[in-house]
Chain A
């Protein structure tokens, strides 16, 4: 995995493909690689949809190997939504296929002229760029059906829907899953619009003729990977909770805690949460699709299997199992308690190419503005359809929650750096509010997700019951997460490596055995710090100051029921998060 493929879409005579070694980017993968390229090659003050911006698609360091649960794909650019650096990531099959082809990154760059729409095929013969206007404005599912006619379904497709083609600030890049469904998305920050700005509709990654990447030390790798898988299976979260209920297992717990943002962050509990809980969802999926429907992997080689398949009342595929954040965004956040409606909205988002969090929060803000009522399920579906069709109202919705709030004169836009907050109210869980405020990515729950700083010994020992030190915890989490984002391992391995030192050690050993390295925990920490320093530097040059590392002021003013708490972490403490 030592090649970077560059596609200059503005080259004279049509797109030009060049190939180069990793050079100064050697040792980087995933988020580390996307952020390194963006920081080095994209002017921070450029327009995100302009010719100076680049879209970098990079699998993690373990892509293409037999390492368990390592199929995460990173996508980086300057974000149309936040105006800062962006790394969004996705599961699906593409990362492993790119790894097997030896490709560390695909970089889309240059100025797209005219109306040509490109289909790019990557295989063992090389890279082919073709104009295919017949793909224009096809939703993701129809696109994959059409591509299947010529490519079969043993390839992976990286694509944009109409939202990306229309360069909406809320637009995703879809990745096909093992069933060749475009159900996995690099969702956040409008990365689809940047792909659309380069005129690229789809990248077909064909692994035919390739083999799994061989480790430098096969025996050591095999033993470490076995121990890693055993650790994932042994842990209560990765071995039981997630496979049985999926991420939506969180609904009941967050709701009980009073940290479930209902009605556009208007209150911390939703009285019909049980109707849309993970428990209810898993039972419904198994009832409609047969036992086992609530357990599924987003890519082959996953040991956790946190996904599932959602069927309609007649047993037909409706969408993949909606994630917790999706069920919240379109459910409790909008006062909607019908899982079938949430699943329909999830499908529409995937099909048109919208981030479910951003779209759900946008609709919540629209509901607060009175565009439709809270709880209006049909209205919510209609709004997403409008966004997918690009009507004037739909374009406002597709521009994200901050834009919707500006257009309709609403103060309560739950955003940081222009990006919608996910499914955890920062007033109830202040530590995550610190991360929302200070992440380089805008409000992002995954920015501080790799819950292993205790094992990494980042920042030394802490007293978990002391109220002080929110910034310290958030800093350590952001560092650990940035490092994990570079490996390609799924974020959900975080829980097994939080609680089980031997599982953490096994994970690091798989990396070492794969690449012939001798990384230690300190090296992992240093990698995380390097990534964050690069990203902070980019954002600072793009015009971000400490004033952007703040939550909207109404979170400091309006108490959240039932605990009646506000976000009261001082700005001075927030400013210490990145002081390293």
Chain B
């Protein structure tokens, strides 16, 4: 079973939004677009998921079936090394022949050989290893639902302008699922105020799910 990682940011945000919710999966609209989290540079994908996010075990093995590193499908999570500003996308198993083709080590992986991630070139791994920096992560489909709590509890960074645009499209029900929302430590009377409070800002906002 997956386990929950602890919070640890390290990025720079123009504002920090903290909130409580029993349904963190309501943020899937944002998780699919891509957000930033801090990580320890030059780790493998397995180290990132298992050691830094504490996403280990059967869940990760069975459910994270499709992985892209900088738009390249990954077959070997122990060989693919993450670097600052990389983009990592995670998905469940996909339908369609091409969906099956994108799976890690899938039967049809050869069909996308020319775009697959090549793990060669990781010789510089030792050079910058250990430095904290940011990586962009995208969570698609079932993984956005399942892993929302893990990432939001850790704290994620997202462009504030885009966040305001997306908040403007949320139904009323979304805000009803949020509790104890604060911006830079100041509690909001209503979660709906969030968009107005953030709109004058620029850069990134950190979203952080508080524990129970």
Q: Quick one: given A256-B68, A258-B71, A279-B28, are A287 and B171 in contact (CB under 8 Å)?
A: yes
Q: Quick one: given A465-B75, A563-B71, are A236 and B109 in contact (CB under 8 Å)?
A: no
Chain B residues with CB under 8 Å of A429's CB are 98, 101, 111-112, 115
From B9-17, B139-147, B153-161, give the one contacting chain A.
B139-147
Total interface residues in chain B, CB < 8 Å? 45
Q: 1/0 contact trace for B47-78 toward A, CB 8 Å?
A: 00000000000000011011010011101000
| A448 x B97 contact (CB < 8 A) | yes
User: Cα distance A140–B106 when bound, in Å?
Assistant: 41
Chain B residues with CB under 8 Å of A324's CB are 96
Query: Which A482-499 residues sit within 8 Å CB-CB of chain B?
Result: 492, 495, 498
| A464 x B114 contact (CB < 8 A) | no
| A241 x B96 contact (CB < 8 A) | no
Q: Which residue of B lies closest to A567 (CB)?
A: B114
| B110 x A464 contact (CB < 8 A) | yes
User: Cα distance A467–B65 when bound, in Å?
Assistant: 21
Report B87 CB to chain A, min CB distance, Å: 8
Chain A contact residues, CB within 8 Å of chain B = 236-238, 240-242, 244-245, 247, 249-250, 252-254, 256-259, 269, 274, 277-280, 283, 287, 306, 324, 424, 428-432, 435, 445, 448-449, 451, 453-454, 462-470, 473, 477, 492, 495, 498, 562-563, 565
Report A120 CB to chain B, min CB distance, Å: 35
Report B143 CB to chain A, min CB distance, Å: 10
| B95 x A249 contact (CB < 8 A) | yes
Inter-chain contact count A-B, CB under 8 Å? 163
| B97 x A253 contact (CB < 8 A) | no
User: Cα distance A563–B69 when bound, in Å?
Assistant: 13
Report B187 CB to chain A, min CB distance, Å: 28
Which residue, A250, A253, A454, A469, has most C-beta atoms of chain B within 10 A? Answer: A253
| B99 x A253 contact (CB < 8 A) | yes
User: Cα distance A465–B116 when bound, in Å?
Assistant: 9
Known: A274-B32, A324-B96. 4 other contacts (CB 8 A): A249-B95, A250-B94, A477-B97, A495-B93
Q: Which residue of B lies closest to A279 (CB)?
A: B32
| B110 x A431 contact (CB < 8 A) | yes
User: Cα distance A280–B100 when bound, in Å?
Assistant: 22
Q: Quick one: given A279-B140, A464-B108, are A242 and B95 in contact (CB under 8 Å)?
A: yes
Q: 1/0 contact trace for B79-104 toward A, CB 8 Å?
A: 00000000001011111111111100
| B93 x A257 contact (CB < 8 A) | no
User: Cα distance A298–B153 when bound, in Å?
Assistant: 39
| A250 x B144 contact (CB < 8 A) | no
Report A257 CB to chain B, min CB distance, Å: 6
Q: Which residue of B lies closest to A563 (CB)?
A: B115
B129 within 8 A of A: no
Chain A residues with CB under 8 Å of B116's CB are 465
| B173 x A287 contact (CB < 8 A) | yes
Report B196 CB to chain A, min CB distance, Å: 22
13 A-B pairs (CB sep. < 8 Å) = A237-B94, A244-B142, A252-B138, A253-B94, A256-B71, A269-B71, A279-B28, A287-B171, A432-B101, A445-B97, A473-B108, A498-B100, A563-B114
| B111 x A495 contact (CB < 8 A) | no
User: Cα distance A287–B110 when bound, in Å?
Assistant: 40
| A252 x B71 contact (CB < 8 A) | no
User: Cα distance A170–B58 when bound, in Å?
Assistant: 47
Report which of A237, A258, A449, A466 forms a contact with B110, defined as CB distance below 8 A.
Answer: A466
| A283 x B91 contact (CB < 8 A) | no
Report B67 CB to chain A, min CB distance, Å: 10
Report which of B95, B98, B109 forms a contact with A237, defined as CB distance below 8 A.
Answer: B95
| B92 x A565 contact (CB < 8 A) | no
